[in-house]
Structure 1
Amino acid sequence: MFAALVGQLAYLQILNGSRLTAEVDRTDKTVIKGNVPRGLVFDSKGRALVTNKANSAITYTRSVGITSAQMKALAQTLAKYITVPSTSLTPRDFADYYLASDANSQAVTKKLSKADQALSTSDSSEFYKKQVAYVQKHLPTYTKAQQQPIEIFKVMSGSTQLSTVYIKAEGVTEKEVAEVGEHLTSMPGVNLGTDWQREYPNGDSMTSIIGRVSSEKSGLPAENLSSYLANGYARNDRVGTSYLENAYENVLKGSKSQTQVEIGSKNQIVNSVQQFKGQQGANLNLTIDSAYQAKVEATLTKVFDQARAAGVANVSDGAYAVAMDPNSGRILALAGRQQNIKTHTVTNDALGVINRSFVMGSAVKGATVLGAMQDGVITPTDNYLPDTPIYLPGTPVKKSVYPVGTFGSLDAASALEVSSNIYMMRLAMKEGHAKYVPNDYMSLDSNIFTTMRKYFTEFGLGQKTGIDLPGETSGYAGPTVNSAGTLPVGSALDLSYGNYDAYTLIQMAQYISSIANNGYRMQPYLVQSISSTLADGSSGPILSTTQPKVLAKILSTQAQINVVKQGMWQVVHGTNGWTTATALNTLNPGVAGKTGTAQTFTRVDPEDNTSEQVETTTLSFVGFAPASNPKIAIAVVVPNLTGDEPANYNLMIAQQMFADYYSMNNIKADPNYSSHQSTING
């Protein structure tokens, strides 16, 4: 036996000593990643809209192989030096903490049945569930002070190996920093760090555009967890959860720091070297001038409050407005005020511009006229039509707002000026090869909806614009057959003057921009450029710039577009008693546009389909300025107003938006301007 022992020692020490020593001293290398500040957001003038606030933080990096008992002891030690915010601890949290003690675990095991005890060797997971169930039925009482280490233990045990979590990231006092720093050597894994939180120097008004970032506690959104993890995120990483923060996550997140650590044979960190200190996220520079945005928001608030005070906005959804550079697609302002018609509280809802749709009424008539000219049923030089009402059986007379017989006939420009519904319906009848006899059933081509919507689509009406924000909707297209399965002729006529399909306001802005710039449908965008971050946190060199994108060229000739532009000029500057937007003819330089008034219905309780329906009026406006050299195009909607003749709230908003843009962008008055000029180039 002694000879065998000597032989074994010789084998271990002489023949394999160096190899076994190396195995004992072996270390594994791995990389720990650290968070960096997100990129900032600036307006078009370089004003900071979103910044980062640095906070002192207490962090914990979980070592390899650390036991629950060790983490419990560490939590108890750390609780002597810091006070963490109380959360809603669950019975399971208390049970996990209690069972982290070997003595407690053994004591609980003795209380279990023989069958449950046997699970400890055959099914450890099920065995632990039995332990937890027992503890939850016999939980000891913990004081608030005793709950502090439980709060800390919960965060620690929720981390993964070699990941860093924040034990306390807000409200860390200087005393806590000093005491934790003094005892770091006795608390392996605990460290002092920095946490970053989003701040909004201009307030929360634009957060519905910019979006929000998840907290370290909430971490990655559950619905996209797998995707984020596959792209190198940790479960507790902060990410953009909505709108620009979400759409530009890859730009704003930055590059994490990388520290290579060596893990010894006893699972302790024996060495660490920072390989990359990290790079703060790049910055977004928006197209929006926050000062002009604030003016538009203030105008919406003021005018909608007037409507509420007048008692006509009790069931109104709110008021919305958007301004766009028609030549590039740059968004100049995007604002909304949404009213809860149950509580009558009003909140900011800028995103309603892209994700809420409304029946806009006559504001779309420019597209109707251009579509008819493309179809060949009228031409720039031959476009007079009779202005006599349409009489169909079983339905009220289909006419314009002015009395029957006011006009014998109208040309296209004049029809836009006085907002003739009859003119637009007669265009649809020509496009659909109508067989019409007054007071008899009328037939139209079965594809009339397809025909008209094809022309509307050229301008972006009824389809997504491609704006760089998630959540855009395409609007609503009414049915093309009725309950009897036949073509709803009356609805096709309604579509021609904007009283059938529903569009988003951003689509209306894209549509009017296409007319203002002589036929180019531009893609709207909010991010003008992306820039790097300098060492002092300010915006650095430009990394990329958004180039204006033409989505399509409208298939209308310049002569055809000029007819519509002339009509829109007359909408503001016409002298006929039925001219619809003369309230804007005081603006200098002169503007052009088109009003809309849609007869709509809404429910007193929108969530209850059995609630009372109320007849309402939706007011809208689209326009561009200066008319002869457009630099801004706007779209406005104030939906679901009550009363026989609501005031021109749409024009009040539009007038102020144009006036503020003129004053803030040094648009000089035209010394030769007259409100009675006959052409937009006059």
Structure 2
Amino acid sequence: MVSKKKKQKKSQLPFRLNILFFIVFLLFSALVLQLGVVQILNGETFQAEIDRTTNDYTKISVPRGKMYDRDGDLIVGNDAEYSITYTPEKGIQAENRLKVAEKLAEYISMDSEKYLDGITKQNKKDYWYVNNTEEARDLLSQKEEEEMDNGEQYHEIIDRISEDKVDDYSKQQLEVIAIKKEMDKAMTLTPQVIKNEGVTSEEFARVSARLDELPGINATTDWNREYPYDGTFRDFAGSITSESQGIPKDKEDYYLSRGYNRNDRVGNSGLEEQYEGVLRGRKEKIKYTTDKNGTIVGSDVVVEGQRGKDLVLTVDMELQKKIDEVIRDEMKTAIQKYPVENRYLDRAMAVAMNPQTGEILAASGQRYDHEEHEFSNIGTSTIYNANAPGSSVKGATMLAGYQSGAISPGQSFYDRPIKIKGTDEKSSWKNLGYVNDYQALEQSSNVYMFFIAMRMAGEYNYQYNEPVNFDYAAFDEMRNYFGQFGMGVPTGVDFPYESTGYQGSNPSAGNLLDLAIGQYDTYTTMQMAQYVSTIANDGYRVRPHFMKEIRNPVPHEEGLGPIYKSNNTEVMNRVQMSDSQIDRVQAGFHRVFQSPNGTASRHFADKPYDAAGKTGTAEYDVYENGELKASTENLALVGYAPYDNPEVAFAVMVPKVGENNDINHKIGKGILDAYFENKDE
């Protein structure tokens, strides 16, 4: 029998457990309730607090890719230099920036013209405002403060600060202002260059040793473009913006949508601009961890930076230098020999390219300053500047005559002066008598081309000094044929901009005749190079290009990495003319350079490289203030060599020549001499 005492103990145990369970239940209920309060009532507040401590990311620019010539010689590189930068934390105040600027001014100098001359009255007033906040606030009444927001108050105070308060700053204070000015440009967590020109090793060391005293300041290395060949090919290479310029204002949306920062340097001309996407590289991406006060508490590189890819260009820099020199020497000789007659001769341009691939081997433009007696490189004028090329277009005119049915191969005309009623008499450089198509090219007959133009316009019964019945659709027809060779249309060259030349707008009979001999519309030297290349290449027009290859960068920064992309030959079109017709024009061009009657034979006939081509002369009247000052000539020359298997084609344009009328021949000969000498070395 169980005792009464044992029964009482058994009955008390469940009761105590129930109490314990009840207490635990109450505790859990309280916890759940608290969690509900946190989540439901205070969730947004706490989430905001969490958001304030989330990670932030920024991207750091890397050095640009380099440019090399076809032989691997460096054209554009990067010159490393010391740099002092500032990366502001979140919520940094103007007073804090000023303190950092004052401290930094103890370790670096900002006394160069670049920095001190850039200080404005606004910068000085802003410096005074930060240093004299109480006094500055007194410049506004209480009513004005109530009626204005913070931005309006600031601008009104700045306007009311008298100039006498900011006119007597010491040099040391001005240097602080210069530093603060650069710091104020910085965006949150984005590095801003404070000084990168003339940073001495001592300054770099002093700042590096005191980074803990200078929040946001860093001592690092920056880069600038270097040009081992100085001015040679410099304008084609192009330029990049400075840190102060950043991305162009008119292209902000374009660049910002592609991950650029506003203070990033970008290509703004030439090949730097054309291949910006290749040369820019991959930015280094850094993750910053900040606390609720915006203070950076940690950072980590999440994407390694990689400098831009390298460009291998088609250009041969040794050939480029020689052609620059040839042009300068020939211009100097012409001007020194005939200073009065050639007082308007101020430039000459030339392009050399591979007619089979479109690779541009050299492109030179030289300008002469008659007052300073100095030359400067204007290579891009071969793409931007258009001139009337004269008879050098006659190969295209002849082929237009064949294709249109205006003439047949081998047809002859009597070369004598032409006169359409109501127009001036026109003729060749002399009366040549009967000439066929070969001879018309060989001796540069204008009259032969006039007959082609008249027949293309439907006039087959020309009589001296009689009116003609022209179908002026012949202008469009002839220009269409010319365009197949690259004249008057874009060449497609890989450059940010190219001129297509000027197209005359007065469709008269005389102007049609002038169009046929290259004295009406104008063309660039690059267009003329593409035109003669098309003839040399059996009628295939290829796109001229500067980029040969894109190479991946190599880690050690020297030499060329593996090929990323190659620029293959691109045929833009095949002209409509038959092979046999093109053969006849090629033979005519060969006669120009090789036969005794050829207009360029005395310069080329004895050369071993067996060249072919066409000379050109166009009248150019110089006017000043509406008054005729001089009658000059544009001299042109196009050609290629060797005749049987062309390796190089060239075009030369020398505007406003008054005397020494073989300068175009001498430059052309110098180009081919330099090419074949360079090839044999």
Q: TM-score, normalised by structure 1?
A: 0.90
Which residue of the other structure, out of 275, 290, 296, is the alignment partner of 1:269?
A: 296
1:83 and 1:631 map into 2 onto residues whose CA distance is 56
Write the deviation string for residues 165-206 of structure 1: whole angstroms up to 9, x where unpaired. 111112222222222122211211111111011001111211
1:364-402 deviation per Cα after TM superposition (whole angstroms, max 9, x unaligned): 00000011000112223x421222321223433211001
Structure 2 partner of 1:484 = none
- Residue 525 (structure 2) aligns with: 505
Q: Which runs of 5+ in 1 are unaligned?
A: 1-9, 482-487, 668-682
Per the TM alignment, residue 323 of structure 1 is displaced from its structure 2 partner at its CA by 0.3
Alpha-carbon separation, structure 1, partners of 2:312 and 2:524: 25
509, 519, 524: which one aligns with 1:489: 509
Matched, 1:663 2:674: no
Q: Which 5+ residue runs of structure 2 have no aligned equivalent?
A: 1-31
The alignment partner of 2:320 has SS state of helix
> CA shift at 1:118, angstroms?
3.1
Q: How many residues matched?
A: 638
Structure 1 match to 2:26: none
Contact 1:324 1:333 in 2 (8 A): yes
The aligned residue for residue 677 of structure 1 is: none
Moved more, 339-348 or 183-192: 339-348
In 2, distance between residues paired with 1:610 and 1:113?
63
Contact kept in structure 2, 1:418 and 1:580, CA below 8 Å: no
Matched residue, 1:571: 592
Q: Please state whether the residue corresponding to 1:262 is helix, strand or coil.
A: strand
CA offset digits 1:588-640 (Å, max 9, x no partner)? 12110100011121234xxxx43544211111000010011100000001111
Matched residues in 2 for 1:348 and 1:177: separation? Answer: 37
In the alignment, what sits opposite 2:623?
603
Deviations 1:400-435 (A, max 9, x none): 001x3x41x111010001100000001111111115
1:418-429 to structure 2, matched below 5 A, reads 418-429=443-454
Provide the residue aligned with 2:388 in structure 1.
Answer: 359
1:100 corresponds to which of 116, 130, 149: 130
1:470 CA drift (Å): 1.3
Select which of 639, 643, 653 maps to 1:627.
643
Letter in 2 for 1:584: F
Matched residue of 1:111: which SS?
coil
Code of the residue aligned with 1:615 in structure 2: it is S
Preserved CA contact (<8 Å) 2:342 2:658: yes
**Aligned with 1:546 (options 554, 558, 567):** 567
For 1:648, the equivalent position in structure 2 comes to 662
* Counterpart residue type for residue 655 of structure 2: P
Matching of residue 415 in structure 1 with residue 444 in structure 2: no
Q: Which amino acid aligns with 1:29?
A: N
Distance 1:250 1:313 in 2: 44
After superposition, give the CA deviation of every residue in 1:39-79 in whole Å (9 maximum; x if it has no partner).
00000000001110111111110110000011111111111
Amino acid at match of 1:108: A
Partner of 1:588 in structure 2? 608
Q: Match of 2:428?
A: 400
* Same amino acid, percent of matched pairs: 34
Contact 2:491/2:543 (<8 A) preserved: yes
Structure 1 pair 570–628 and aligned structure 2 pair: CA distance change class (3 A):
same
Where does 1:180-579 land on structure 2 (aligned, <5 Å)?
A: 180-310=207-337, 311=339, 312-339=341-368, 345-380=374-409, 382-402=410-430, 404=431, 406-407=432-433, 409-434=434-459, 435-481=461-507, 488-538=508-558, 539-576=560-597, 579=599
Provide closer, same or farther for how the CA distance between residues 23 and 108 of structure 1 changes in structure 2, counting only shifts above 3 A: closer
Q: Which amino acid aligns with 1:649?
A: I
Give SS of 2:161's match.
helix
Q: Is the counterpart of residue 61 in structure 1 residue 81 in structure 2? A: no
The change in CA–CA distance for 1:343 and 1:82 in structure 2 (over 3 A counts) is closer
Structure of larger gyration radius: 2
1: CA distance between counterparts of 2:612 and 2:469?
A: 36
1:603–1:612: 8 Å Cα contact kept in structure 2?
yes
**Structure 2 counterpart of 1:659, one-letter code:** D
Q: Is the 8 A contact 1:209 1:243 kept in 2?
A: yes
What's the counterpart of residue 9 of structure 2?
A: none
In structure 2, how many angstroms separate the alpha carbons of the residues matched to 1:199 and 1:449? 49
- Report how far residue 301 of structure 1 moved: 0.6
Query: 1:366–1:564: 8 Å Cα contact kept in structure 2?
Result: yes
- Residue 355 to residue 15, structure 1, CA distance change in 2 (3 Å): closer
Residue identity opposite 1:515 in structure 2: I
- How far did 1:344 drift? 6.3
- Give the corresponding residue for 1:671: none
| C-alpha contact (below 8 Å) 1:49/1:201 kept by paired residues | yes
| Structure 2 SS opposite 1:665 | helix
Is the contact made by 1:42 and 1:285 (CA closer than 8 Å) also made in structure 2? yes
Counterpart position of 1:111: 139
Matches within 5 A, 1:7-46: 16=38, 27-46=53-72
Bigger mean CA offset, 130-139 vs 453-462:
130-139
Instruction: Kindly indicate whether the alpha-carbon contact (under 8 Å) linking 2:327 and 2:667 is maintained by their aligned counterparts in 1.
Output: yes
Are residue 174 (structure 1) and residue 194 (structure 2) matched? no
Could you list the per-position Cα deviations for residues 139-165 of structure 1 after superposition, in whole angstroms to 9, with x for gaps in the alignment? 332111111111111111111111101
Task: Give 1:670's aligned residue.
Answer: none
* One-letter identity of the residue aligned with 1:332: L
- Relative to the length of structure 2, the TM-score reads 0.90
1:105 Cα shift? 2.0
